[in-house]
Amino acid sequence: MAKNKIDLATLNWEEFYKSPLEQRIKFFSKEGRLFDCLFSQQFPRKLMEKLFEIATRIRGIAKSKEGLDWLQTLLSHKRSMLYFVQPSTRTFVSFQSACHILGMKVSEIRSTSTSSELKGESAEDTIRTFSSYADLIIMRHFQEGMVEKSAWLLNSTPRPVRVINGGSGKDQHPTQALLDMYTLHFSFSKFGGIDNKTIMMVGDLKRGRTVRSLSYLLKNYKGVKIIYVSPEYLRIEDDIKKFLKKYRISFVESDDLVGNLKAADAVYMTRIQDEHDINNETKDMDFSNFHLRKEHLRLMKKNSIIMHPLPRRLEIDVEIDKDPRAMYWREERNGMWIRTALIAYMFGMEDTIFNFN
């Protein structure tokens, strides 16, 4: 392991980025603990379930004022920087709230137009600057690989600070996948857990980073089946299919939402990611066959759940919000708790949290 690390440390960014992910992952851990959270593939089942436990413990402690006050002492000596240069509501606010729950002081930049990047400073120099002031950088960026590059860069400076990926281009959104898994874990706790469940993902599977990150995490469970439902043009990419085949996860592709509903334990709806259009190519396409409507509910299993990373457009009829199977508003809350758990874990706080009484 040490040898790999030394080898990787001698590479320039282009060489590093081209090396296999299993190798790169090691570079983002220190002393056997996750140092930077960049990819879903950094979370084996054991670590993921540990985070679920920490999150559940924290939300229990936070029920009382005494507990909440105590949580705020845990990282009161640490500062975080939220650098979100792509639109965000939930991810931003839930990370900010997670930092507040743990007592961290939070700074933020939400646009390159308000940082020195407008004066021509590179994103890399901007990130290095943050490391002078913060112990943790939580970052959302429009460019694939940029969050990883920032973590890579900081790990080679005398002041490496932790980096969390809050969404990187079309590529990954690992903490969304963690909150999706936490939601599945909770919802199926009385129904045999996530093993052997059928998860249907619907919408823009080609450019949706949440679907990609979630697909990676599903490898942690046995007997899971995935049904990918999308228009032909927005099918899931080959790299994900290759990954699923490697880990023998069964999946099918279809363009039939209604016909597949009765088989699904979870229906994960997504928005068309038209910000990635090159020539407005999806503007005039009709996506109504990929919208979940009230009349579809009777086709779904009684104990199934409906998920969405949000924001939604027309993918889920607002009338469905009242159905007990609608889980997307709970996902928002789960996101805050799992992000709190992740930060607490990254700073080695889990034993202190479990010992609270």
How far apart are the C-alpha atoms of 12 and 156, rounded to whole Å? Answer: 11
Q: Is 209 in the site for ligand NCD (CB under 6 A)?
A: yes
How far apart are the C-alpha atoms of 281 and 210, rounded to whole Å? Answer: 21
Q: Of 271 and 339, which has the nearer Cβ to ligand NCD?
A: 271
Q: Is 210 in the site for ligand NCD (CB under 6 A)?
A: yes
DSSP state of 355: T
Of 118-126, 257-265, 303-311, 319-327: span binding ligand NCD (CB under 6 A) = 303-311
Report the residue from 57, 79, 90, 291 that binds ligand NCD according to the rule CB under 6 A. 90
Q: Which residue numbers are catalytic?
A: 90-91, 119, 140, 173
DSSP string, 222-250: TT-EEEEE--GGGPPPHHHHHHHHHTT-E
How far apart are the C-alpha atoms of 182 and 341, rounded to whole Å? Answer: 11
Which residues are within 8 A (CB) of 23 and not within 5 positions of it... i.e. 6 or more apart? Answer: 4, 8
Of 66-74, 104-112, 306-314, 321-329: span binding ligand NCD (CB under 6 A) = 306-314
Report the residue from 40, 91, 198, 230 that binds ligand NCD according to the rule CB under 6 A. 91
Residues 24-83 binding ligand NCD (CB under 6 A) are none
Show the tokens assigned to 139: 């970052």
What are the two backbone dihedrals, phi and then psi, of residue 324, each rounded to the nearest 5 degrees?
A: -60, -15
Of 95-103, 141-149, 242-250, 305-313: span binding ligand NCD (CB under 6 A) = 305-313
Q: Is 174 in the site for ligand NCD (CB under 6 A)?
A: no
Could you tell me if 59 and 337 are in contact, meaning their C-beta atoms sit under 8 angstroms apart? yes
Q: Of 174 and 309, which has the nearer Cβ to ligand NCD?
A: 309
**Shortest CB 64 distance to ligand NCD, Å:** 29
Q: Is 346 in the site for ligand NCD (CB under 6 A)?
A: no
Q: Of 74 and 309, which has the nearer Cβ to ligand NCD?
A: 309
User: Residue 221: which of 239, 238, 244, 200 has the closest Cα?
Assistant: 244
User: Residue 241: which of 256, 226, 261 has the closest Cα?
Assistant: 226
Report the residue from 40, 131, 150, 176 that binds ligand NCD according to the rule CB under 6 A. 176
Of 222-230, 231-239, 276-284, 307-315: span binding ligand NCD (CB under 6 A) = 307-315
Locate all alpha helices (DSSP H) within the chain, ordered by sequence.
2-9, 13-18, 21-27, 45-61, 65-74, 90-101, 123-133, 146-155, 174-187, 209-218, 238-246, 257-260, 328-346, 350-354
Report the residue from 169, 174, 231, 309 that binds ligand NCD according to the rule CB under 6 A. 309
Could you tell me if 342 and 52 are in contact, meaning their C-beta atoms sit under 8 angstroms apart? no
Q: Is 271 in the site for ligand NCD (CB under 6 A)?
A: yes
Q: Give the number of residues in contact with ligand NCD, rule: CB under 6 A.
A: 11
Q: Is 167 in the site for ligand NCD (CB under 6 A)?
A: yes
List of residues contacting ligand NCD (CB under 6 A) = 90-91, 167, 173, 176, 209-210, 271, 309-311
